[in-house]
Structure 1
């Protein structure tokens, strides 16, 4: 188990220690659940009252909160407790699952694979013809990487994920369990005889930038003609669907169960709330924020906050809901 003194933790956070504690800190925890060997967080004044009953020996606290830690307890005061929390969690990250050998004997690695130094491939993996793996790529057990795919340095792909042929994944990416990269897009047309559906071939691929994270059971479909593109730094939650030929700019966020239909374009820094749906060929400008559960049917300019089904500007949506609430009360 990892443990640190309050002084060692502050070396990482570079805050200001108020009070003192000799207690060795074994990990972080919420205010209500912390034990006397744990450190907690106070990022908002509304949580101040919980400090009195918390058993935590220490807390990371916003510098603008006026509070005394008490006997044998300490604060580390920082500018932003949320960011400091992320830095603290890095100290306590458990060791990753171990590989007894770099390439497990039950992995199937084609003779034409090009592999950098430090790669690890787990049991049951399949790595196909002409795949290129950069340095320190990790493929956990039962990962599939099909022919002519390229994966950049220091990328980790967790168990059960499938990367189809000809895809390109950048460096420092994380692909979580059972994600699907490069499956066929959802393209069908009525057959000429009117008795069925004609499948539209998808001959493109998926290009994923650097520092991208894709959650468990999420799907990124291949392009119909060219590529579905995920920009550098994008973070995609679990159970997210990204349709064929969609293009995401840099550092976009998509929360769980949200989805892009085909040929959607997102600018840089777009945030899509949980269960929101973006219709095909819609363009969202830089910094657009889409509220959870919204249905977006039209284009929106940079910086807009939109909400509802169909989505409108957030303030307008809230006004509509107030009117509907009043009508509902009047009809009783």
Structure 2
């Protein structure tokens, strides 16, 4: 079990130590559940009231906190408690699952595949024709990587993920369990006789940049003609749908159950709230934010925050909601 002294924790987060605690710290925990030997976080004043009844030995706190630790406990003051906690969680992270052999005997690796040095391929995984894996790629059990796909250095692919043919994936990516990359897009048209539907095939691919993380059970469909693209540093939550030919800029965030229809464009740093839906062929420009549960049916200017269904400027929508409440009281 990993453990740290309070002084070591102070050094890790580059904080200021207040108080005197000799306990060895073996785990982080939320303030209500923390025990002796735990470090917790007080990120803003609304959590300060919980400290009196907390059993935590140490708290990472924001610089402006007004309370003091008790005897035998300590605070570590930092400018940004959330970023400090990210450092701590990294320090306390348990070891990754163990690979007894680099390539498990039950894995199927096509003879034409190129597997870089340091790669690990788990049980029952499939690596198809002309696939290229860079260095130190980790493929956990029961993953499929189909023909002509490329995966960059240090990328991690968790169990159940399917990477379809011709996908291009960058370095240092993480794909959590049961991600689907490069499946057919959703396209149908009424048949000429009006008695059925004609499937529109999608023959493009998916291109994913460096440092992208995709949550469990999310789907990124391939392009109809060219590519569905995710730029460097994008972070995609669980249960997210990204439709065919959508293009995401750098460092976009999409929260759980949100979705992009086909041919949506996101600029750099766009944030999409949970369960938000974006209509096809809409452009959301750089730095814009879409509130949770919103429905976006038209372009969003750079830096704007939109909410509601249909989504509009957040300040305008708030006025509408206030007006509706007043109307309901009359």
TM-score class, shorter: over 0.9
User: 1:124 matched to which residue of 2?
Assistant: 124
> For 2:63 and 2:292, how far apart are their aligned partners in 1?
32
Give the secondary structure class of the aligned counterpart of 1:189. strand
Offset at 1:63? Answer: 1.2
Give the secondary structure class of the aligned counterpart of 1:7. helix
Verify: 1:83 aligned to 2:61, yes or no.
Answer: no
User: 1:153 matched to which residue of 2?
Assistant: 153
Deviations 1:59-106 (A, max 9, x none): 001112122111011111101111101111001101111000000000
Offset at 1:45? Answer: 1.0
User: 2:56 matched to which residue of 1?
Assistant: 56
Give the secondary structure class of the aligned counterpart of 1:11. helix
> For 2:167 and 2:92, how far apart are their aligned partners in 1?
34
Give the secondary structure class of the aligned counterpart of 1:182. strand
User: 2:303 matched to which residue of 1?
Assistant: 303
User: 1:101 matched to which residue of 2?
Assistant: 101
Compute the TM-score of the two structures, normalised by the length of structure 2.
0.99
Q: What does residue range 55-74 of structure 1 map to in structure 2 within 5 Å?
A: 55-74=55-74
320-329 vs 136-145, which deviates more?
Answer: 320-329
Give the secondary structure class of the aligned counterpart of 1:181. strand
Q: Flag structure 1 segments of 5+ consecutive residues without an equivalent.
A: none
Deviations 1:27-50 (A, max 9, x none): 111111100110111111111111
Verify: 1:134 aligned to 2:131, yes or no.
Answer: no
Give the secondary structure class of the aligned counterpart of 1:77. strand
Verify: 1:191 aligned to 2:199, yes or no.
Answer: no
> For 1:151 and 1:234, how far apart are their aligned partners in 2?
16
> For 1:159 and 1:46, how far apart are their aligned partners in 2?
39
Give the secondary structure class of the aligned counterpart of 1:202. coil
> For 1:69 and 1:263, how far apart are their aligned partners in 2?
54
Q: Flag structure 2 segments of 5+ consecutive residues without an equivalent.
A: none
User: 2:29 matched to which residue of 1?
Assistant: 29
Verify: 1:6 aligned to 2:6, yes or no.
Answer: yes
Offset at 1:193? Answer: 1.5
Verify: 1:168 aligned to 2:155, yes or no.
Answer: no
User: 2:219 matched to which residue of 1?
Assistant: 219
